[in-house]
Structure 1
Amino acid sequence: MSHHRISFPFLLSLIISVALLGACGSSTEQKQSETATADSTQVKSAQKTILFFGNSLTAGYGIDPEDAFAGLVQARLDSLGKDYRVINGGLSGETTAGGLSRLDWFLEEEPFIFVLELGGNDGLRGILPSESKSNLLAIIDKVRAKYPNTTIILAGMQIPPNMGQEYTEEFKAIYPAVAAEKNVTLIPFLLEGVAGNPDLNLPDGIHPTEEGHKIVFETVWKTLEGLI
């Protein structure tokens, strides 16, 4: 076997060449990465956003967020090839007053559809229906003032008669009244077919199970489907 000696100048030249090629490759990769990032940003900005703004019902209390009705909406949109992004703005324990105070943070970008699901905690706490109604009206006004073209959907809510029948009826009447006054789309009762059924709710009797959320999703989808 013959042995070929590699001279030091040749070796040095080879190392420099490889280094230069590596630098060129790195520069090319960086440019490709920057282009991909720019393309991704354009795609993101082209997506229409559906913002679900609510309490623990929206957040999916007790289950995985993707199994809550908002997550199921995203899954359905994806399966249909629709270029929409769902934002889950649900916060457990949220009242209409709390929602009004944190709304600005969620309005940094324009939602194509804004689904308002608040009030249930007001009812459970015995907050005056007139106060809850005032807050819901203010939330709608704030969304409209910033984004006049956003479609607003109001999710109606009902509560058990713990606070007395008069309060229960007055609370129930908030939602159709707000929808009529502000000319927004109304889902009459978000928990239709779910509320009061122990098989579809967690042990607390208030929050839907995964199966319950599938029914809530169908209720929401009936309204959304015609808007996308």
Structure 2
Amino acid sequence: MELVIGTKKWSTWSLRPWLVARRAGAAFTETVIPLRQADNQTEAEIRPHSPSGLVPALKVDGLVIVDSLAICEFLAERFPEAGLWPADPAARALARSAASEMHAGFSSLRGECPMDLTAEPRAVELSEATHKDVRRIVALWTSLLERFGGPYLGGGQWGIVDAFYTPVATRFRTYGVRLSDFGDTGICGEYAARLLAEPEFLAWERDARA
């Protein structure tokens, strides 16, 4: 099993399935493609691994699986004992919904606050569109943490949905986003800190800063 990923300090999409693969205990090698190279060199290096020209891509059993969510779903099926989705049907449905919302949305936050794990934390002025994204994330996290009792979005066990929001937690840290300004009573800030203390994320972050 080979996971093809982008530069660790920047690639949010690569981070998500990497965290899931590590948590599942999957044996895999990683191939890192440098991002942001000039003259389309990045895409040229990705193409031999990924027909979409994008990372991440998982190469396994003669298949090439592209897209973070598709890779995570494959890993959930391959490693059912890892419990990557909640066992409870309601929790599983809402966790999938939250992961899909992250996968498809929050474009203003993505564009205005890109992940950079080597940047010094700093406060920035955010647009109203990004304010709206953050308010929605706070509301979503609060609803799931309160409904299922935490400490993770689907309940007691870390899973795919938490992998999808880990890059968001890094953005809040890097750009000085105070969640209390967006309706958080403290539960979301604690959750974000929890994500950034997970051993798998800390291992990724060490590599990104090396």
Q: Please, what TM-score do these two structures have when normalized by structure 1?
A: 0.28
- The higher relative CO (CA closer than 8 Å, separation ≥ 6) is in 2
Q: Please, what TM-score do these two structures have when normalized by structure 2?
A: 0.30
User: Between Structure 1 and Structure 2, whose CA radius of gyration is higher?
Assistant: 1
